[in-house]
Amino acid sequence: MPDSGLLYKEWKQNKVALVITILVFILGNPLSILNMYLTYQGCVTGKENWVGPCVFSVDYLNSTFISVFWIWGVVLAVSQLGIERSKGYFDFTLSLPYTRGQIFNAKFLTGGMVIVIPQLIGYVLSVLLILFLKPDQAVYFHNYSLGMIIVSMLAYSLVMAGGALTGNIFAQLLVSFTVTILPFLVITLPAINMDILFGGRARFLDYPIPEWMQYIFPITYVIPNWVEDSPNYLVIPAVMSIIFYLIGYISFVKLSNERNGYFFLWKALDRPVQVIVIIIGILGFGYFGFATSESFAGYLLGMAAGALVGFFISYFAIYKKIKQL
């Protein structure tokens, strides 16, 4: 358990972000239900302007306030690591009489409690509101409300891991976003290019992705349709959250803070990541060139352009120090 002094320090340093997140998590779910109820009342009072019968349905497949709760996990992680590092507060934090492991766990515990407890409170308030308003049906209410806690923790732990590996906010967000689509970059994009090279005879794309596999794409959870499948699949983001926590913890403990402002804190990652970015640029622009021109010449031109774009983006992003605030 982290020292109470560290927890207090985290609270005071990030109080604005924490308070706003708590309020959003507590009120977001009940407000979603109230919004659906007011829409139903609008149908009842102005029925002549509506098509079909008026039904009070709590439907979490439609847009709700809680569908963007994952964003607040990102905000918290950026506030606790990216902003603190960019403002130079880390020198003070690391000078405190605590180990790096204690500091990271205090940050993670603070963020985790702010994500989980207010959402549970909002869930209980929403259950009471449903019992009071008595909707005709509640579609995916329990699965989505509770599942969103796991999804928010996934977003938080992912961006925390990105922040522990990188030296500025831009790098933290870019690395985190790349990981959210990483399965596409390492599986789907190469398969598309192989299919182009073999003239469609490779048949890599003829086999549908197994349903469970889409859940290793963190980007899947941005759209609420994941709730239609088995709730057992939520084990996958829960396990990924633990993995990202471990990556963040090990990175925070082992890596120094000396390269403040650079992309990666671990310099050994610079060159391999640059090569990967160039390869992704080649494959992505090659596919775009082929799709645009429907010719192999367009494919080759796209690959050449992708190599240049990938090189310059990776060079200026990775090797150029960003001025701190």
Break the chain into its structural domains and give their ranges. 4-167
- pLDDT for the residue numbered 200: 62
- pLDDT for the residue numbered 72: 94
Residue 42: both structure tokens together: 């609008």
- pLDDT for the residue numbered 319: 79
Among 116, 87, 81, CA closest to 100:
81
- pLDDT for the residue numbered 325: 52
Distances (CA, A) of 293 to 188, 193, 199, 288, 300: 21, 15, 15, 9, 11
- pLDDT for the residue numbered 60: 85
Among 123, 183, 135, CA closest to 37:
135
Question: Which residues fall within 8 angstroms of residue 192, CB to CB, at 6 or more apart?
Answer: 204, 205, 283, 287
Distances (CA, A) of 101 to 6, 14, 69, 95, 321: 12, 19, 27, 13, 27
Count of other CB atoms within 10 angstroms of residue 83: 19
Question: Which residues fall within 8 angstroms of residue 289, CB to CB, at 6 or more apart?
Answer: 298, 299, 300, 301, 302, 303, 305
- pLDDT for the residue numbered 260: 63
Pairing of strands 57-59, 137-139: parallel
Among 266, 221, 262, 275, CA closest to 247:
266
- pLDDT for the residue numbered 105: 93
> Model pTM greater than 0.85?
yes
Regions of the chain where pLDDT drops below 70: 1-2, 46-52, 63, 200-210, 257-260, 322-325
**Number of helices (H) and strands (E), helices first, in the chain?**
13, 2
Q: Rg of the chain's alpha carbons, rounded to an integer?
A: 23
Dihedral (CA of 226, 229, 230, 232) sign: negative
Among 317, 314, 322, CA closest to 276:
314
Distances (CA, A) of 173 to 22, 143, 177, 215: 22, 28, 6, 21
Residue 145: both structure tokens together: 């409300």
- pLDDT for the residue numbered 50: 63
- pLDDT for the residue numbered 27: 94
